[in-house]
Amino acid sequence: MKEDYDDLTIYHPNDDELELINSRNPIPLRKESGIVLRIHAVNREEDRGKDVFEEYAMERMGQLSVKNRIPILLAGDGDSSDHFWMSKNTKGFVFDYELKDNVLYYKAFFPLTSTNRPVVENILHGLYTKGSVGFAINPKDYICSACDRPIVSKECPHVPGDDGVFTKIKDVVDNFEYSLVAVPMVPDSGIPKQKGVILMQEEDVKVEENLVETEEKLEEIPVEKTIKINLELNEESKNLLASLENFSKNLTNDKITYDDTIQDNKMSEEVIEQKEEEIIPDSHAELMGCMKEIKDNLAGLHEKVDSLMAKMLEMESVEEPSETKEESKEEPEVEVKSTKKSFEERLNEEIPDHRKSVNDKLWERLTMGVN
C-alpha cells in the first residue's frame, strides 16, 4: 500500500490552497496534513431527475460551498442512506471552487488522519468516485421548462420527464453538503482523474495564453520588415560560416605546429643521448688513467718507505756492538730514538707532500674533464 502513496505529493495543497484551508481551520495545518482533490459537483446537462442548473445557480452553489465550508460526507455502517447528515460521516471539506466549461468544481481538503486514511485510500483507488450535491431551492426558482412557471405551482400542469419537459434551477438559497454515493443523479458528478484534470488544464491555459501573445506579436510585424530581418539574418549566417571556416583552418595549423614540436623534442632527446654516449666513455677512460697514476705513485711511496725502513735497520745493526758499557748502552738508544724521530718526521713531511701532489694532479684531471 505504501508505494501507492508515493504519488500523494502531487495532491498535497500548494501554498495558496494551504492559506485558504488554514484561514478557517482551528489550527494551522502543514501541507502533509492532507490532500486536495478536485470534485466535479454539477454541470449544465440534464440529470437523471430531469433537472438542469442555470449558470447563475451554479455560481451561487460555488459561493455557498465556500461560505459554508460544506462537508464531504460518506454514510457509515448503520446509516439508512447516503446524504446522512452526521458529523462522524464527514471526511473532508470544500475550501474553494471553480466554474469552467459549464462545470462547477469544488476543491476539497481530505485530512490524512488515522481514521480518515482508509477513506482516502478508497477514494484514490477508485472505490468512492461518485458524489452528489445537497442544497436548497426556493420553490419560485424551480421552473418548468415548458411554461416557465414554478413546477410546484398549481398553475403549471407539466410533469418533468413528460414530452421532454425538464426543470430549471435558476437559483439556490443554501448549499449543505456533498456526499459520496454509489449512483448520483448527475452522472458525471464525483472525483475525476486528478492529474489530467487539474494540472493539464492549468498548463493548457498557460500554453494557450502564450500562443495568443505570440500570434499577436507576429501580426504586429509588417511583411517588409520580416523580409528585411530575414535578409539580415542570411547575411549574418554567411559571416558566421566564414568565421567558422577560418577557425577550422587555424585549428589545422595549430595541429601541424604541435606535431612539429613533438618531432623536435624527439630529435633533441636523440642528440642528448648521442652526446652522453660520446662524453661518458672519455670521462671513464680519463678517470681510469688517474687511478692508474695514483696506484703507481702509491707503489713508489711504498718503495721509499721500504728503503727507509731498510736504512733504519741498517743503522740499528751498526750501533749494537757498544752495548757492553752502561753509558754507551743508553746513547745508541737516544740516537735510535732520534733516528726514529727523524724518520717519522721525514715520513710525515714527504708523504703529505706526495699525497698533495697526487691529489692536485687528480683534481686537475677531473676538472679538465668536466670543463
Binding positions for another protein, rule: CB under 8 A:
42, 47, 49, 51, 82-83, 132-140, 142, 151-154, 156, 159-160, 169, 173-174, 179, 184-186, 189
Q: Tell me whether residue 118 or residue 139 sits nearer to another protein (CB atom).
A: 139
Q: Tell me whether residue 159 or residue 212 sits nearer to another protein (CB atom).
A: 159
Q: Tell me whether residue 89 or residue 189 sits nearer to another protein (CB atom).
A: 189
Q: Tell me whether residue 185 or residue 312 sits nearer to another protein (CB atom).
A: 185
Phi, psi for residue 334 in degrees, rounded to 5: -65, -45
Q: Provide the minimum distance between the beta carbon of 49 and another protein in the complex, in angstroms, as a whole number.
A: 6
Q: Provide the minimum distance between the beta carbon of 210 and another protein in the complex, in angstroms, as a whole number.
A: 38
Q: Tell me whether residue 83 or residue 361 sits nearer to another protein (CB atom).
A: 83
Q: Provide the minimum distance between the beta carbon of 209 and another protein in the complex, in angstroms, as a whole number.
A: 34
Q: Is 216 left (phi over 0), alpha (psi -120 to 50) or beta?
A: alpha
Q: Tell me whether residue 99 or residue 290 sits nearer to another protein (CB atom).
A: 99
Supply the Cα-derived Rg of the chain in whole angstroms: 59
Q: Provide the minimum distance between the beta carbon of 44 and another protein in the complex, in angstroms, as a whole number.
A: 13
Beta bridge partners of 72: 92, 178
Contacts 24+ apart (CB under 8 A), 7-15: 8/35, 8/124, 10/194, 10/195, 10/199, 11/35, 11/36, 11/37, 11/194, 12/36, 13/109
d(CA 351, CA 355): 6
Q: Provide the minimum distance between the beta carbon of 85 and another protein in the complex, in angstroms, as a whole number.
A: 11
Q: Which residue type sits at 239?
A: N
All cell numbers assigned to 292: 692508474
Q: Provide the minimum distance between the beta carbon of 150 and another protein in the complex, in angstroms, as a whole number.
A: 9
- 123 CB-contact burial (10 Å; exposed 0-12 / middle 13-18 / buried 19+): buried
Q: Tell me whether residue 35 or residue 137 sits nearer to another protein (CB atom).
A: 137
Q: Provide the minimum distance between the beta carbon of 96 and another protein in the complex, in angstroms, as a whole number.
A: 21
Q: Tell me whether residue 60 or residue 107 sits nearer to another protein (CB atom).
A: 60
User: How is residue 70 annotated by DSSP?
Assistant: P
E strand or H helix that includes residue 110:
strand 103-111
Chain mean position to CA 364: 71
d(CA 285, CA 72): 109
First to last CA, the chain: 90
User: How is residue 198 annotated by DSSP?
Assistant: I
Q: Provide the minimum distance between the beta carbon of 48 and another protein in the complex, in angstroms, as a whole number.
A: 8
> At a CB cut-off of 8 Å and minimum separation 6, what does 13 contact?
21, 31, 34, 35, 36, 109
